[in-house]
Amino acid sequence: MSTATRSIVQTARAPQAIGTYSQAVRAGDTVYISGQIPLEPATGALVSGDIDAEIRRVFDNLKAIAEAAGGSLASVVKLTVFLTDMGHFPRVNEIMATYFAQPYPARAAVGVAALPRGARVEMECILSLA
């Protein structure tokens, strides 16, 4: 794919990348949003203490990037959730239902040993803008 059909998506409404990656890349009508952890966009500080607040912050970060790409969470076709404690998965389900409507996107949940900056949840997603 030529770089002419690929563009970088960037917004101040989501945390800036903390490594060698972009918040998202749009390739044609598909947007690939990088993994988001519960960082506050303005300060870069990790939300901690309350798993519900962490999950909501991640969804808010994904939403901001999706909107910057010209879509919304309704444009998400695939969501991947990474959790350091799969016991939090029911909370992800409950909170996800407040951000998404049916038909829900395809989804995977993966238990991991650790996440960047000690986060307990990370999510990445793919949008279709077609």
What is the CATH classification number for the domain harbouring 23?
3.30.1330.40
Instruction: Please state, for a pLDDT cut of 70, what percent of the chain lies above it.
Output: 97
List C-alpha distances in Å: 89 to 8, 47, 82, 92, 109: 31, 18, 10, 5, 8
For residue 47, give its domain range.
3-128
Q: Whole-prediction pTM value?
A: 0.95
Provide the number of structural domains found in the chain: 1
Indicate the average pLDDT of the chain.
96
pLDDT-derived band of residue 2, with 50, 70 and 90 as boundaries? low
Alpha helices by DSSP H, the chain: 51-68, 89-99
Report residue 14: phi and psi, to 5°: -135, 160
How many angstroms separate the CA atoms of 39 and 109, rounded?
A: 20
Rounded Cα–Cα distance for residues 66 and 126 (Å): 9
pLDDT (0 to 100) of residue 49? 86
